[in-house]
A and B are shown apart, each in its own frame.
Chain A
């Protein structure tokens, strides 16, 4: 099956620093990738849709200057949390639309901002 790799799986950073999360489709090309945020015991909240070669589409209420998304190739999308603060602490998970329009998920990144 299609595999999506996400790194890092866990990161701790100081308040005010920036953190980059990578999402790669390993055995298929993904023109569209998605970034979600998930709070404990809650659902997946769509943050933005990442399109290869163009600007990402952000959901209402998500700050595009805060959460920078780059989808420079057909296999890689990155999410950079800029000037992170404790309220940005969360589980971030990416997904890619693979063969058959099916959605495949990365393993997620647990971000803790001190």
Chain B
């Protein structure tokens, strides 16, 4: 199956700074890569996603980049705010229509 690795596991940034979270995947046939934000005790919420035919996608302060050759993708959050504090998960959808998740990054934005 797919193996998704995510780094860092914890990340602290000052409010207003940028945060970057990186993921790698093993199955070159995986074609869809969503990012989820999970607040404590709540369900994961989709924040942005990218498909394998696109290299970059941006939605306001959030962007995702994909390097298919290197099999890695990254989440970029600019102008971070305290409400961005949460656990972020990357995921990859393989050809078997199964989602595999990274290990998560706990982001803390310090006011």
Binding site for B on A (CB under 8 A): 32, 34, 36, 41-44, 46, 49, 59, 93, 95, 97, 101-108
Interface of A is mostly: strand
CB distance from A102 to the nearest CB of B (A): 6
B93 partner residues in chain A, CB cutoff 8 A: 101, 103
Interface of B is mostly: strand
Binding site for A on B (CB under 8 A): 1, 6, 32, 34, 36, 42-46, 49, 87, 89, 91, 93, 96-104, 106
Contact B103 A34, beta carbon cutoff 8 Å: no
A42 to B44, CA, bound (A): 13
For this complex, 27 residue pairs linking A to B, each with C-beta atoms less than 8 Å apart, are A41-B104, A41-B106, A42-B103, A43-B6, A43-B89, A43-B102, A43-B103, A43-B104, A44-B89, A46-B101, A49-B97, A49-B98, A59-B1, A93-B43, A97-B97, A102-B34, A102-B46, A102-B49, A103-B34, A103-B99, A104-B46, A105-B36, A105-B43, A105-B44, A105-B45, A107-B43, A108-B42
Contact B99 A46, beta carbon cutoff 8 Å: yes
A97 partner residues in chain B, CB cutoff 8 A: 97
Partner of B98, one of A34, A41, A104, A105: A34
Partner of B101, one of A41, A44, A106, A107: A44
Residue of B nearest to A45 (CB): B101
B42 partner residues in chain A, CB cutoff 8 A: 107-108
Residue of A nearest to B97 (CB): A32
A103 to B32, CA, bound (A): 11
A97 to B100, CA, bound (A): 13
Give 7 new A-B contacts, CB below 8 A, not counting A103-B34, A107-B42: A44-B101, A46-B101, A101-B93, A104-B46, A105-B45, A106-B43, A108-B42
A95 to B99, CA, bound (A): 10
